[in-house]
A and B are shown apart, each in its own frame.
Chain A
Amino acid sequence: MKLYCLSNDPNKPCHILTFREITVMLDCGLSMQSLLNFLPLSFVPSNRLLNLSNYMPPDVSDPDLEGELKENGERIFVDSPPEFGPPLDKLIDFAQVDVILISNYMCMMALPFVTEGTGFRGRVYATEPTLHIGRLLLEELVIYIEQCPKSSFSSQWKNYVHKCPSPFKEAFMPKSWKQIYNMSSVNASLSRIQMVGYNEKIDVYGALQVIPASSGYCLGSANWIISSDHEKIVYLSGSSTLTTHPRPMDHNALKNADVFIMTDLTQTPISNPDSMLGVLCVVVSLTLRGGGNVLIPCYPSGVVYDLFECLSAKMQESGVSNCPMFFVSPVADTSLAYSNILAEWLSTAKQNKVYVPDEPFPHALLVKNSKLKHFKHIYSDGFSTEFQEPCVVFCGHPSLRFGDVVQFIELWGNNPKNCIVFTEPDYDYIEALAPYQSLQMKIAHCAIDTSLNFTQANKLIKDLKPTTLVVPETYTKPPVSAPNLTELVIHNTPEVNLIPYKWGEIINLPVKRKQGQLFIETDVASKIVPVEIKPGLSLSTVTGTLNVKDNVHKVQDILDDQKLLNKNVKYEWGSVNINEFKQKLFQEGITDAKVESLGGNVVVIHLQDEDALIQLEDNNTHVVCNGDEALRTKLRNIVMQCLKTF
């Protein structure tokens, strides 16, 4: 069993697991940290961005590089459509992948890169919400980028990255970065997804069984249990033990794994999501009361649903409920609509509302009461008439490199009354804001990451008792941002065999199959005669026709046309007692036996009249005689009487 690590970002994971000749891809995350090295895309030309000065690395005079790099406040940016870090494609040919398992909608953004134009012919499994909401995320991304076409693609800069200052210099593998896929690849790729339910058993070529178990992180999020007859592998991706809107995490299914692969832990190990939410509510109230607007960059699904619920209540309390909330995304309407039809994937409290029947999320009511207004774009019909300040705007993209958020920053950036609040943990907010500096608006950082923190993860491991634990190497060291907080790691305890892995590595996992499974059918089973060797232990020989189909082994009765085949082979065990043997010979009328000891426990018995010789040892007997079958059969019977059989 081997594990290949194809993604550099533990929160946008992508692995390959090979086991029993099956190649399984675990998640298909797209690393988007690369975006921070690009200039924002604006659909209204921004003078400020256009007037940024060109940058040329020291000692370089390549005319082709001219104009590709821009500079703002000692940060370097590429002036080109943004590029993404797809999974490493050098370790494995994607055409060989049999199955892709998707844990949640945040971990499937690289799917079109893997399944389209690579010869991929396998199956992709994801839950229904993962497919629906994942589609929204992919479509939103494509729309955001396609609505701001750039006239030129820059590529020369990739040759000079090492000559640029930090943090640009640290860009990870820029030569492997790719432009975004188009909508037809998205559709083709998503059409390969087969929807599954929690706890649905999926058979993979008869060799493996995979089961998605609720992970509590977001709508439809799952951990995967991959098992064969005797081995159990658990793949834990985005999981949460907090009570928010999704169905709670299923712990039981994850117990006693031989191998436990753990990834996608919290990106904000130091802060607590609940207190962050509290801070957020305070910031929003204060800003609104001061007459300022709040801008919340976000994804179109996920924590944003909880924010609608929480903020609307808080705004009511603090007397700013007359300020509207705007939700601007090309998929805002669909996201809101879907959230209310996926009742079966929600927490029990939300589910019970559906039985009334009420909408599970309060945002349906907020929309009805015009407290929450949703638009596809800032330029959509009706937005300008509905727009009123002060207000709260939720919009994408959290990287601040494209989407309507770019326009809102241009609009509100110079007023210190306004505030931008970072709630999504994926991007460093300082880096995200770098191309816009210097801004006058306030900046609040309240990243809400509900996924497991290190304390929760270590406790989980203790409860679940896996034999081997496999984690990204970064989880074995304190976070770069807080090198002193040594408790923020996955502990290496004697009970668990901890194996760290790095990007681009292939790890051998210590699972050795010793046993398989087969099925015995009626007629074979009825012929089994167990012989008790000692209390609690019986043996019986089994012979049958082996039928192997789809990796399932079946033993059926042998048909009569198999001549000469001994269907009822038995085995002898124990030792022959010489005296008993001689006595039996005598009873059968063989009286001239001459016993000769050859030392050790080897005894030879000569039968002179019969012209035969029997050599007896502890563990074997050799009967040598001429072609006289009657004699041999007689001797055979005597030897067998002296031994036990099964």
Chain B
Amino acid sequence: MPELKVTPLGAGQDVGRSCILLSIGGKNIMLDCGMHMGYNDERRFPDFTYVTPDGPLTSYIDCVIISHFHLDHCGALPYMSEMVGYNGPIYMTHPTKAIAPILLEDMRKVSVEKKGEQNFFTSQMIKDCMKKVVAVTLHQSVMVDNELEIKAYYAGHVLGAAMFWIRVGSQSVVYTGDYNMTPDRHLGAAWIDKCRPDLLISEATYATTIRDSKRCREKDFLKKVHECIDRGGKVLIPVFALGRAQELCILLETYWERMNLKAPIYFALGLTEKANNYYKMFITWTNQKIRKTFVQRNMFDFKHIKPFDRQFIDNPGPMVVFATPGMLHAGLSLQIFKKWAPNENNMIIMPGFCVQGTVGHKILNGAKKVEFENRQIVEVKMSVEYMSFSAHADAKGIMQLIQYCEPRNVMLVHGEAEKIAFLKEKIQQEFKIDCFNPANGETNIISTPVKIPIDVSLPLLKAEAKKFNALPPDPKRRRILHGVLVMKDSNVCLMDVDDACKEAGINRHVIRFTSTVSINDNGPSVSTAHKLHTFLTDKLPQWGVTFSEGEISVESVLVKVEGDDDESQKTVYVSWTNQDEDLGSYILGLINVMGQ
């Protein structure tokens, strides 16, 4: 049995640092190459020594596929390609190719310039890495080499996010990356056809959540922001530059317009306009409503949202600030947090998931004091709200995707261990298929059925169809195909025996047997033959027993009666070829018994 081998280097029973190795039909593929936001040491990157202890990866990996631009999916890419060494192709969608280098550069600056980390990749490395990227469009079938084919599907999660279908021979795998099964304010829902992969590798961030309706969450969010503004507080919303931020901006923009609010909203990032430009130019990747109206009004031209300046941090009065990064692990959002946290009028809204080890994760777990590297302790008096706006599929969505693509096996990654374990049970129960949840470094082997394509001669198929169609309809009857497989060099073709012999240049030798049986039956031999026909038809219900010109035939078996009309003893000839030996001798046996 052929098999698939899957080993997560990251995201195995964990969130962050997505990196999964897949072996399929002799090809090795790296799915995502992310970094972990919660670590500052070597653990932030996947352990590439698993692939090879030292030296470049090029000869071990056939291709790298990046699902979307979030750093936990592409953050280790320049490290892998430029520092560890990889010169093969890297596949991603056009928007991902456009946006990923910007986020990588952003993160590099924060890590190297702010945190002073050593041994990090350089700007040039990001550029060199991006030169290895091959951009793909949705549904385009890309042949990585003669055997390895990949195809991207829309995943919703962020602009340009894609799920990838991967095929070698008759084996196929779908890797989802992060996806979202419900359309939101700017993106559509993930979609895949019934491609029936051998394995679906799905993220499971919200494995145990069934999220309430989006509208309720939005209302809740707006209410909380409004209340805080009314009491003169400041609202901090840590976000990533692209993605959720745009959705929340659209949400606040329309609310401010409707409620005629005056408190300023700031977007703290030089990137804002640039980021929105990406949305404008890749508008075909957004949802239908935005696509339809973009000629008249571009949703990403905001009236109420202005660029932020560091000096505004100490401004009096209410304001709403969007600041990066989203998990409060570094940068401006952390700086603002330190200033605003001690005031109980203020509020912080965490709109997405925070990985372990980040400040975001700590305060979400109720930490009232946060200690920093320089022994600085910040008291958290501001109200902390968690709003799940990050667009992942919830349990219902994951089940829905399984229903869409009908995989033979499921593997859950990118989720917390207990949550994954729970969903695994549910999937096994509901779909009666195997579900895997490997930890990092653990290899799962999944065997797949064989489906070998071979050529078949049309006369053989047509002869079978003609024979089948000639029989009276019977829903239970199975169609039987019989032929000879001719394997000549690398060509394999199924044909009928005579053509096969001709192709092979040999003479077929036909062996025929004729046995005679005497039975006693008065009357003309034709009537005996009729009796035999009735008898055989009765005994062989599955077979086409025919009678013509005094001869009964079943497949190659012929039965003939001879004898004078006025003598009771008749001679029955039963004749068949060696290929119908079982049937022939069975019929002979039947007639023998009848004669006694």
- Using a CB–CB cutoff of 8 Å, the interface residues on chain A facing chain B are 128, 196-201, 211, 229-230, 333-334, 337-338, 340-344, 351, 354-355, 357, 359-360, 513-522, 525, 528, 530, 533-534, 536-548, 553-555, 558-559, 562-566, 569-576, 618-629, 632, 636, 639-640, 643, 646
Q: How far is the CA of A621 from the CA of B487 in the complex (A)?
A: 28
* With A200-B141, A357-B281, A555-B481 as contacts: A546 and B464 at CB distance below 8 Å: yes
Asked whether B484 lies within 8 Å of A627 as measured between CB atoms, the reply is no
Beta-carbon contact of A636 and B281 below 8 Å: no
Write out the residue numbers on chain A whose beta carbons fall within 8 Å of the beta carbon of B588: 627, 629
Q: Are B455 and A516 in contact (CB under 8 A)?
A: yes
Chain B hits for A624, CB < 8 A: 513-516
Q: Separation in Å of the A425 CB from the closest CB of chain B?
A: 29
Q: Which one of A533, A544, A627, A640 lies within 8 Å of B504 (CB-CB)?
A: A533
Contact A341 B284 (CB under 8 A): yes
Q: Flag if B480 contacts A545 (CB, 8 Å).
A: yes
CB of A573 within 8 A of CB of B494, answer: no
- Report which B residues bind A (CB closer than 8 A): 1, 94, 97-98, 135, 137-142, 151, 170, 274, 277-278, 280-284, 294-295, 449-458, 461, 464, 478-489, 493-494, 497, 500-501, 504-517, 540, 542-543, 578-583, 585-586, 588-589, 592
Q: Which 8 A-B pairs have the closest CB atoms?
A: A546-B481, A546-B479, A522-B450, A620-B510, A200-B139, A543-B482, A572-B509, A538-B487
Residues of chain B within 8 A of A357, CB atoms compared: 98, 274, 277-278, 281
**A542 near B140 (CB under 8 angstroms)?**
no
Assembly CA distance A563 to B581 (angstroms): 14
20 cross-chain CB contacts under 8 A: A197-B137, A211-B141, A514-B457, A520-B452, A521-B451, A533-B504, A537-B488, A540-B484, A540-B485, A541-B483, A541-B485, A542-B485, A564-B543, A566-B579, A570-B579, A574-B507, A575-B509, A620-B510, A624-B514, A627-B592
The CA of A48 and the CA of B319, in the complex, are separated in Å by: 67
B295 and A333 form a contact (CB under 8 A): yes
Give chain B residues whose Cβ lies under 8 Å from the Cβ of A619: 507-510
B455 touches A199 (CB 8 A): no
Name the CB-closest residue of B to A541. Answer: B484
Contact yes or no, A196 B139, CB < 8 A: yes
Q: Could you tell me the distance between the alpha carbons of A470 and B479 in the complex, rounded to whole angstroms?
A: 40
Q: Is the CB of A199 within 8 A of B142?
A: yes
Taking A197-B137, A341-B294, A530-B487 as contacts, is the C-beta distance between A525 and B452 under 8 angstroms? yes
Cα separation A359 to B298 with both chains bound (whole Å):
15
Pairwise interchain contact A571-B283, C-beta atoms closer than 8 A = no
Q: Which of A534, A562, A569, A629 has the most CB of B within 10 A?
A: A569
A341 touches B487 (CB 8 A): no
Contact partners of A573 in chain B: CB under 8 A: 501, 506-509
The reply to whether B583 and A566 form a contact with Cβ atoms under 8 Å apart is yes
CA distance A344 to B160 in the complex (A): 12
Give the CA-CA distance A628 to B585 in the complex, in Å: 11
Q: Closest chain A residue to B587 by CB distance? A: A564
A357 vs B585: C-alpha distance when bound (angstroms): 81
Q: For B278, what are the chain A residues with a Cβ–Cβ distance below 8 Å?
A: 357
Residues on B with C-beta less than 8 A from A564 are 540, 542-543, 582-583, 586
Q: Specify which chain B residues have a CB less than 8 angstroms from the CB of A575 in the assembled complex.
A: 507, 509
**In the bound complex, how far is the Cα of B351 from the Cα of A306, in angstroms?**
45
Q: By the criterion CB–CB under 8 Å, are B461 and A516 in contact?
A: yes
Contacts A517-B455, A620-B509 known; A542 to B482 CB distance under 8 Å?
A: yes
Q: Which residues of A contact B543 (CB under 8 A)?
A: 564
Q: A200-B141, A566-B579 are in contact. Are A646 and B484 (CB under 8 A)?
A: yes
B274 to chain A, nearest CB (A): 6
Chain B neighbourhood of A571, CB < 8 A: 484, 497, 501, 508, 579
A522-B1, A566-B580 known; A544 vs B280 contact (CB < 8 Å): no
Task: Known contacts A521-B451, A618-B507; decide if A514 and B513 are in contact (CB<8 Å).
Answer: no
A539 x B480 contact (CB < 8 A): no
The distance from the CB of A74 to the nearest CB of chain B, in whole angstroms, is 46
Q: Are A344 and B514 within 8 A (Cβ)? A: no
Cα–Cα, bound, A622→B509 (Å): 11
Within 8 Å CB of B280, what residues of A?
Answer: 341
Interface centre among A198, A230, A553, A575 (most CB of B within 10 A): A553
B153 CB → nearest A CB, Å? 11
Given A539-B487, A543-B480, A572-B510, 5 further pairs, Cβ under 8 A: A197-B140, A341-B280, A515-B456, A555-B481, A627-B517
Residues from chain B with a CB closer than 8 A to the CB of A516 are: 455-458, 461
CB distance from A274 to the nearest CB of B (A): 29
- Which A residues are in CB contact (< 8 Å) with B97? 355
Given contact pairs A537-B488, A574-B507, A575-B507, A359 touches B281 in the complex (Cβ within 8 A): yes
Pick from B282, B494, B517, B585: contact of A518, CB below 8 A.
Answer: B494
Assess whether B493 is in contact with A515, with CB atoms less than 8 Å apart: yes
Given the complex, which residues of B lie within 8 Å of A341, measured CB to CB? Answer: 280-284, 294
Bound: A559/B138 CA distance, A: 42
Distance of A546 Cα from B479 Cα, bound (Å): 5
In the assembled complex, which residues on chain B have CB atoms less than 8 Å from the CB atom of A628? Answer: 515
State A537–B503 Cα separation when bound (angstroms): 9
Contacts of A521 in B (CB 8 A): 449-451
Rounded to whole angstroms, the CA-CA distance of A534 and B503 in the bound complex is 12
CB distance from B269 to the nearest CB of A (A): 15
**Residue among A229, A537, A639 making CB contact with B487, cutoff 8 Å:** A537
Chain B residues, CB < 8 A from A338:
295
Given A355-B97, A572-B578: A621 in contact with B510 (beta carbons within 8 A): yes
Is the pair A344, B451 in contact by a Cβ cutoff of 8 Å?
Answer: no
- Complex formed: what's the CA distance from A55 to B550 in Å? 85
Enumerate chain A residues within 8 angstroms of B138, measured Cβ to Cβ: 197
A343 and B1 within 8 A (CB):
no
* Contact call B508/A572, Cβ cutoff below 8 A: yes
Contact of B542 among A201, A546, A562 (CB under 8 A): A562
Q: How far is the CA of A453 from the CA of B582 in the complex (A)?
A: 69
Question: Which residues of the partner chain B approach A542 to less than 8 Å between Cβ atoms?
Answer: 481-485, 494
Residues of A within 8 A of B454 (CB): 517-520
B506 / chain A contacts, CB cutoff of 8 Å: 533, 573-574
Contact B485 A528 (CB under 8 A): yes
A201 to B478 Cα, complex, angstroms: 32
What is the distance, in angstroms, from B303's C-beta to the closest C-beta of chain A? 19
Chain A residue at minimum C-beta to C-beta distance from B493:
A515
Interface centre among A522, A539, A566 (most CB of B within 10 A): A539
Contacting pair B455 A515 (CB below 8 A)? yes
Closest CB of chain A to B145's CB: distance in Å? Answer: 14
Given A344-B137, A539-B484, are A569 and B517 also a contact pair (CB < 8 Å)?
Answer: no
Q: Kindly list chain B residues whose C-beta atoms are within 8 Å of the C-beta of A566.
A: 579-583
How far, in angstroms, from A543 to B98 measured CA to CA in the complex?
54
Cβ contacts under 8 Å, B141 to chain A = 199-201, 211
Taken together as a complex, chains A and B put the C-alpha atoms of A518 and B142 apart, in Å, by 24
Nearest-Cβ distance from residue B97 to partner chain A, whole angstroms: 7
A405 to chain B, nearest CB (A): 23
A354-B94, A632-B515 are contacts. A540–B487 as well, Cβ < 8 Å? Answer: yes
CB distance from A287 to the nearest CB of B (A): 32
Output the least CB separation between B240 and chain A (Å): 17
Tell me which residues across on chain B come within 8 A of A520, comparing CB atoms. 450-452, 454
> In the complex, what residues of A have CB within 8 A of residue B137's CB?
197-198, 344
Residues in B whose Cβ lies below 8 Å from that of A558: 478, 480
Contact B512 A621 (CB under 8 A): yes
- Minimum CB distance partner of A563 in chain B: B542
Q: Whose C-beta in chain A lies nearest to the C-beta of B476?
A: A561
CA A540 to CA B495, docked complex, whole Å: 11
**Which residues of chain A have C-beta atoms less than 8 A from B494's C-beta?**
518, 542
Q: Cβ of A517 and Cβ of B458 under 8 Å apart?
A: no
B509 in contact with A519 (CB, 8 Å): no
Residue of A nearest to B277 (CB): A357
Most buried by B among A338, A357, A543: A357
Q: Which of B479, B513, B583 lies at the interface centre, i.e. has the most chain A CB atoms within 10 A of its CB? A: B513
> Is A198 a contact of B140 with CB atoms below 8 Å?
yes
A574–B509 alpha-carbon span in the complex (Å): 6
When distances are taken between beta carbons in the complex, the residues of chain B under 8 Å from A570 are 579
